[in-house]
A = this chain, B = another copy of it.
């Protein structure tokens, strides 16, 4: 479901029902394969043929789903933040106290981030290869995520659930801490993704001066 600030994942191109689902699934697989290759060999080092190969498919298959390599880069770069907005939509629509919503939002952001690390790596490294328009759209999507999180924090302050100055800057500090966990998290490390998400959510609650965030 799309909110005013959350664009849906694009590309259905008027298809509906099973057709749309299959089309989306194929796009999804192409993006996953491309993100892995971009993360491994860089955008310049990855050809459309290599993306097709890694899926056991043909170049026309890839071109049927994406106009060109830049569109693939743009979509891989959007993936993480679009999903973060979707997760936030769900949390904010679910009701509950601000503390609860903040906790769920932080866990969801961490889980989305850690499940989509290749996308985050590609975005951070290949930002310069995006068109100005694509880069501006992404920057705005990131800002609007922090703005929405900042509004939740400000609301929690008004209700006396949080005690913190600078809700908007604090929101950015929290989302920064969570999003860049993709850089240090390792599969098979001391903590699982779920444990990291829980720890990040605890740290965020504490940053907001929540009562009872000592455990």
A residues whose Cβ falls under 8 Å from a Cβ of B = 42, 124-125, 127-128, 163, 165-166, 169-170, 172-173, 176-177, 180-181, 183-184, 190-191, 196, 199-200, 203, 206-207, 209, 214
Give chain B residues whose Cβ lies under 8 Å from the Cβ of A184. Answer: 172, 176
Please give me the residue from chain B that is nearest to A208 by CB atom: B206
Label chain A's interface by main secondary structure.
helix
Query: Are the C-beta atoms of A181 and B177 separated by less than 8 Å?
Result: no
Query: Are the C-beta atoms of B176 and A180 separated by less than 8 Å?
Result: yes
Give chain B residues whose Cβ lies under 8 Å from the Cβ of A183. Answer: 176
The answer to whether A173 and B169 touch (CB under 8 A), given A42-B128, A209-B206, A214-B163, is no
List 13 A–B pairs whose Cβ atoms lie within 8 Å, in order of A's numbering: A42-B128, A125-B128, A166-B190, A166-B191, A170-B199, A172-B184, A173-B177, A173-B199, A173-B200, A173-B203, A176-B177, A176-B184, A206-B206
Please give me the residue from chain B that is nearest to A211 by CB atom: B214
Q: Please tell me which one of the listed residues B181, B199, B207, B214 contacts residue A203 in the complex, with CB atoms under 8 A apart.
A: B207
A163, A170, A177 — which one has the most chain B CB atoms within 10 A of its CB?
Answer: A177
A166, A173, A209 — which one has the most chain B CB atoms within 10 A of its CB?
Answer: A173
Shortest Cβ gap from A180 to chain B (Å)? 5
The distance in angstroms between the C-alpha atoms of A180 and B184, with both chains bound, is: 13
Give chain B residues whose Cβ lies under 8 Å from the Cβ of A180. Answer: 176, 180
Shortest Cβ gap from A111 to chain B (Å)? 16
Shortest Cβ gap from A165 to chain B (Å)? 7
Shortest Cβ gap from A135 to chain B (Å)? 13
Give chain B residues whose Cβ lies under 8 Å from the Cβ of A207. Answer: 203, 206-207
The answer to whether A165 and B199 touch (CB under 8 A), given A180-B180, A181-B173, A206-B206, is yes
Query: Are the C-beta atoms of B128 and A127 separated by less than 8 Å?
Result: no
The distance in angstroms between the C-alpha atoms of A190 and B165, with both chains bound, is: 13
Shortest Cβ gap from A102 to chain B (Å)? 14
Shortest Cβ gap from A191 to chain B (Å)? 6
